[in-house]
């Protein structure tokens, strides 16, 4: 499959799920989709297009949170980044870990540093932060106060 065929295919198959396709460069495409359809689109890209899941990156953009799921189709050297926007305060999305194991750890990481809940993830324990990190404090959110004395200094971290 060529690059154009892959993109046409995606557009046709997920007509109602895709909000916007941003064709940035020959090697990079950003596809914004509705959050509800992440499982269908991601499993199609992973299983049928034989892409490798690179990672996911979450970012807090004040009014909404954004997660980018990066998939690299190595045969045609195309990186597809699936963009989902989650409106605050309902920060929930389906987990991809039942489809492939590779997404399990990165979802744990996003869960603890941005506070996004992944539905259907079997093991959402803390990954990077210490076990006694307070509940409801998310270090990569915009409203997180750096060096909040009550949160970090008192604990001797």
Partner 1 sequence: MEKTIIPIGPYHPLQEEPEFFLLTVEGEKVVDIDVHIGYNHRGIEKLSETKTFDQSTFLIERICGICSTSHPFAYTRAVEDIIPIEVPERAKYIRTIIAEGERIHSHLLWLGLAGHFLGYNTVYMWAWKLREEILDVMEILTGNRNNYAMFKPGGVRRDIKSEDIPVVIKKIDSIVSTLEMLKKAVIDDPVLHARTKGIGILSKEDAINYCALGPTARASGVARDLRKDSPYGAYDKVEWDMIVTHNGDVFDKVVVRVLETFESIKIIKNCLLNLPSGEIDANIKDIPPGEGIGFIEAPRGECFHYVKSDGTNRPVRHKVRAPTFMNLPTYKATVIGEDISDATIILAAIDPCYCCTERMTVCNTERKKIYSGKDLIKLSREKTEILRNKIGVK
Q: Which is nearer to partner 1, 38 or 106 (CB)?
A: 106
The two beta strands, 117-119 and 92-94, are: parallel
Binding mask 33-72 vs partner 1 (x if CB under 8 A, - otherwise)?
A: -------------------xxxx-x-x--------x-x-x
**Using an 8 Å Cβ cutoff, are 115 and 88 in contact?**
no
SS3 readout for 75-131: CCCEEEEEEEEEECCCCEEECCCCCCHHHHHHHHHHHHHHCCEEECCCCCCCCCCCC
What are φ and ψ of residue 8, in 5° steps? -60, -40
Q: If residue 24 lies in a helix (H) or strand (E), which one and from where to where?
A: strand 18-25
Applying CB under 8 A, what is the total number of residues that bind partner 1?
33
Q: Is 19 in the site for partner 1 (CB under 8 A)?
A: no
Q: Is 104 in the site for partner 1 (CB under 8 A)?
A: yes
Q: Is 81 in the site for partner 1 (CB under 8 A)?
A: yes
Q: Which is nearer to partner 1, 36 or 75 (CB)?
A: 75
Binding stretches for partner 1 (CB under 8 A) = 25, 27-28, 30, 52-55, 57, 59, 68, 70, 72, 74-75, 77, 79, 81, 100-106, 126-130, 139-140, 146
């Amino acid at each position: 499959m060529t690059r154009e065929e892959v993109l046409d295919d995606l557009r046709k198959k997920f007509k109602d799920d895709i909000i916007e396709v941003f064709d940035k460069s020959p090697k990079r495409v950003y596809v914004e989709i509705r959050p509800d359809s992440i499982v269908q689109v991601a499993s199609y890209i992973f299983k049928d297009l034989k892409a490798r899941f690179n990672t996911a990156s979450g970012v807090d953009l004040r009014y909404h949170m954004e997660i980018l799921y990066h998939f690299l189709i190595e045969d045609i050297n195309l990186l597809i980044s699936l963009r989902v926007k989650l409106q605050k305060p309902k920060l929930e999305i389906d987990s991809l870990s039942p489809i492939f194991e590779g997404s399990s750890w990165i979802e744990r990481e996003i869960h603890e540093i941005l506070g996004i809940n992944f539905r259907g993830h079997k093991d959402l324990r803390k990954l990077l932060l210490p076990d006694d990190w307070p509940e409801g404090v998310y270090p990569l959110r915009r409203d997180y106060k750096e060096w909040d004395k009550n949160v970090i200094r008192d604990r001797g971290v």
